[in-house]
């Protein structure tokens, strides 16, 4: 159904926008990164912060008069989208690097694979879920 497809797309966008805003907010306060990266991240974080709340607000407005079924679809999509942002896609990168015969790619993949604990800054998503009565 077209409405459900759009709702799923909107839930993924809400997860994406709130997760990136939280992540950039953390990263923009890390002055140990290279100066140019720090400045770019700081500005990107300001941009994301200025509009990320709009998505949560619209989600609450859109869902407030919707059925339990529709709300559940949105909530479940939002919840299942969050872990996707921590997926390293190592198998895909291995194929890409292999096709490109990228120098030292096996070593890069091995190094990256040791960083298994990837944090997700999900405060804003959790706040939205809480306001939707899902937590």
Nearest distance in Å: CB 61, Fe ion = 18
Residue 7 or 21 having the CB closest to Fe ion: 21
Nearest distance in Å: CB 51, Fe ion = 6
> First and final CA of the chain: distance in angstroms?
27
The token duo for 98 is: 């292999």
Residue that has been written with the tokens 């926008």 in this structure: 17
The token duo for 65 is: 């008069």
Nearest distance in Å: CB 5, Fe ion = 21
Residue 12 or 108 having the CB closest to Fe ion: 12
C-alpha distances in angstroms, 44 versus 15, 16, 33, 79?
A: 17, 14, 15, 25
Comparing C-alpha atoms, which of 21, 26, 129, 2 is closest to residue 78? 129
The interface with Fe ion within residues 14-33 (CB under 5 A) comprises 17
The interface with Fe ion within residues 66-125 (CB under 5 A) comprises none
Nearest distance in Å: CB 123, Fe ion = 16
Stretch that binds Fe ion, among 13-21, 56-64, 79-87, 88-96 (CB under 5 A): 13-21
Stretch that binds Fe ion, among 7-15, 42-50, 105-113, 122-130 (CB under 5 A): 42-50
What angle do helix axes 35-63 and 123-131 make, rounded to 10 degrees? 10
- Binding stretches for Fe ion (CB under 5 A): 17, 48
């Amino acid at each position: 159904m077209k409405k459900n497809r759009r709702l799923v797309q909107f839930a993924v966008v809400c997860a994406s926008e709130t997760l990136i805003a939280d992540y950039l907010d953390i990263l923009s306060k890390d002055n140990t990164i290279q100066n140019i990266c720090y400045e770019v991240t700081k500005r990107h974080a300001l941009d994301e912060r200025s509009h990320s709340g709009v998505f949560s607000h619209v989600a609450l407005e859109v869902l407030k008069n919707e059925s339990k079924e529709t709300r559940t679809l949105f909530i479940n999509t939002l919840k299942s989208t969050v872990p996707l942002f921590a997926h390293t896609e190592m198998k895909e990168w291995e194929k890409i690097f292999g096709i490109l015969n990228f120098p030292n790619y096996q070593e890069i993949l091995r190094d990256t694979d040791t960083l298994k604990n990837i944090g997700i800054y999900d405060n804003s998503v959790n706040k939205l879920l809480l306001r939707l009565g899902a937590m």
